[in-house]
Structure 1
Amino acid sequence: MLGVRLDTELEERLAAVARTQGRSKSDIAREAVRRYVDLHDEAYRREARRQSERASRRDKAEDFALWNAMAAEDAA
């Protein structure tokens, strides 16, 4: 359950849209939130996929050299 406070102007506009579409304000708000979350969730997944693909193309020998250098510093 979620309660949202809207300024007077936005609530009046929402009510007008709801009346013209024969829908409830809650239905319209729910759809708007769902679209927003879908958009941003998909953007997050695209970025994670992009970073994963980029990491998989990296030179593994370079990574091992870095980790070995760090281990040597810790041992010293």
Structure 2
Amino acid sequence: MLGVRLDSELEERLAAVARTQGRSKSDIAREAVRRYVERHDEAFLAEARRQSLAAADHDRHAGEEDWDALIGAPPA
């Protein structure tokens, strides 16, 4: 259960939308929160994947630099 306080203007606008759509204010708020969470959860997961790929790429190149240093190859 979640209680949310809205300023009077926003609550009036929400009520108008709810009347127009024949839905409850709670139903509209629930949908809005669900969409917000999905969007931000997807963005969080995308950033985690990006960082993981960047770290893996860094590790792969770091290994090559270590090997080059070990065998005395000139850096690229």
Q: TM-score range by the shorter chain?
A: 0.7 to 0.9
Shift in Å at residue 61 of structure 1? 2.6
Which aligned runs of 4 or more in structure 1 are off by greater than 6 angstroms? none
Paired position in structure 1 for 2:32 = 32
Question: TM-score with structure 2 length normalisation?
Answer: 0.77
Matches within 5 A, 1:1-76: 1-58=1-58, 59-61=61-63
Q: Which has the higher contact order (CA 8 A, sep 6+)?
A: 1
Q: Matched residues, percent identical?
A: 76
What is the TM-score of this pair, normalised by structure 1? 0.77
Q: CA deviation at 1:28?
A: 0.1
Structure 1 gap segments, 5+ residues each: 65-76
Count of aligned positions: 64
RMSD over aligned CA atoms reads: 1.7
